[in-house]
Structure 1
């Protein structure tokens, strides 16, 4: 049995899938299987991926598009290894990614979730994320409190995380009804029950402006996570309430810009504003035209190689 099961959800990523696969094949650790779940692609994605099929690489087909969560779940349920990791088809791993994860697994046996930092790649420049990792000592590897430190962009992404298979058996799979931020819903359920071992070493490249980037589009037609369901744990889990309020802030601001006043008001009703910093409170109370102006300015600065954040 391979040490790692690597799952690639694939949907219309013909420009990127080959490079994603090559980044796996360049890993210094080679004890893995690769499961590509083609989620009903209508371009040449599957055709390109099929060239790499071998005794270590297989493709599972969804003959109609079921969504990212369903593709990940199919991969998880077909994984043969105890350690499951994901690589989105438009991301890349650095060559020591699996070795870094394997070192975390060996060093922190009490953990069941393992993750590394990542680079944000824009067409003009690569940036370090504002995700809390900068508050840790340089070269840090160790256990961290997900809810305490994860109050910015996200301490890890799906493509920079690895999970012992028992996490899915205990916390559940990705919720296929959620179509926006489904990974956040899963992260909360998993981190409520299991410890996280983390390395500040950036071992994955997260491409921020690829085709069909869902985080850059409207969420009016999306089903979003229900953060209220986790309130019952706040009295016993330190820092959880502040984390939930931060995620409510992010979601409610997005809903406000997109024009969904009803959902926006519902989300902010659950926020304790003492858990937000002054920039976040200002932005949440700002008119829509100002928020759109700020977003346009941020996008312009990023194109010029500068990055500004409200975090």
Structure 2
């Protein structure tokens, strides 16, 4: 199966060489590579062009395109633009500071063909600590073995709201391109935008066909824990913390799965805010400002218990 990889790039000069090296080491090379530079202010773009010039033969017949944006609009917008330029059967978005195991693309192609998957979630190895997520013991009731390190996810809409599950964090989803066609990333959002996007893709799949959703374990994705990443950002004022699109999109939804996912994201969001605001007064103002969400968040805590 043909596979397109889209890399949104913004100020990742320190990491992008490792990311690209992980692609030319693949036992099955990608068929398309789309790099979308979101107006980087470091030398990321120069590093990319130098790497491609020096290693172009290592990419084989891969069609490579570098798109240079003239306005910085965030990773969601860059991913949308990258996807519009692809023509492959499978697609994955690879962050510019993440790396693939050399066998991933071959393993993914085999799994999609043999098991007729619609979407694959990859477990994550966080570097440099080598912590692996998700915790399979906590997800046991949702998993049915399909192959070596590959599990069918039963009742995926319930599984993704489990606090031990991760879908849309880092670069850990591969899917058939046809399922993305009617969806786009929330271009302005930069906090949990991946979870919002992939949840909508998942619901679209399950509303169209029974859908086969799988979890591929075996440490095929390495995510670098970057100190300046948005998840670790410090704030001087509570208004700098954006409302995750999962919450704003489903605030008034009556759908149980929407409510559960919103509650799970809300829990992470509250913890993120309270850990990264500078003072108790800012934390109190944050809680007061978003007080209308508290009943929904508390409802989630009761349901998940």
Which interval holds the TM-score relative to the shorter structure?
0.7 to 0.9
* Residues 190-230 of structure 1: CA deviation (Å, up to 9, x unaligned): 1212232221222011111x252110114642342243644
CA displacement at 1:24 relative to structure 2: 0.6
C-alpha contact (below 8 Å) 1:101/1:115 kept by paired residues: no
Give TM-score scaled by structure 2 length: 0.79
Give TM-score scaled by structure 1 length: 0.77
d(CA) in 2 for partners of 1:68, 1:185: 13
Structure 2: where are the runs of 5+ without partners?
57-61, 206-210, 278-282
Q: How does 1:1-311 map to 2 (within 5 A)?
A: 3-51=2-50, 52=52, 54=56, 56-109=63-116, 111-122=117-128, 125-132=129-136, 135-136=139-140, 139-150=149-160, 151-156=162-167, 157-170=169-182, 172-194=183-205, 195=211, 196-208=213-225, 210-218=226-234, 220-221=239-240, 222-227=242-247, 229-230=249-250, 232=253, 234=255, 240-257=258-275, 258=277, 259=283, 260-271=286-297, 272=299, 273-277=301-305
Stretches of 4+ moved more than 6 A in 1?
A: none
CA displacement at 1:270 relative to structure 2: 1.5
Change (3 A) 1:232 1:108: farther
The number of residues matched between the two structures is 268
Change (3 A) 1:199 1:190: same
C-alpha contact (below 8 Å) 2:159/2:165 kept by paired residues: no
Structure 1: where are the runs of 5+ without partners?
278-311
CA displacement at 1:252 relative to structure 2: 2.5
* Residues 144-164 of structure 1: CA deviation (Å, up to 9, x unaligned): 433322322543434121122
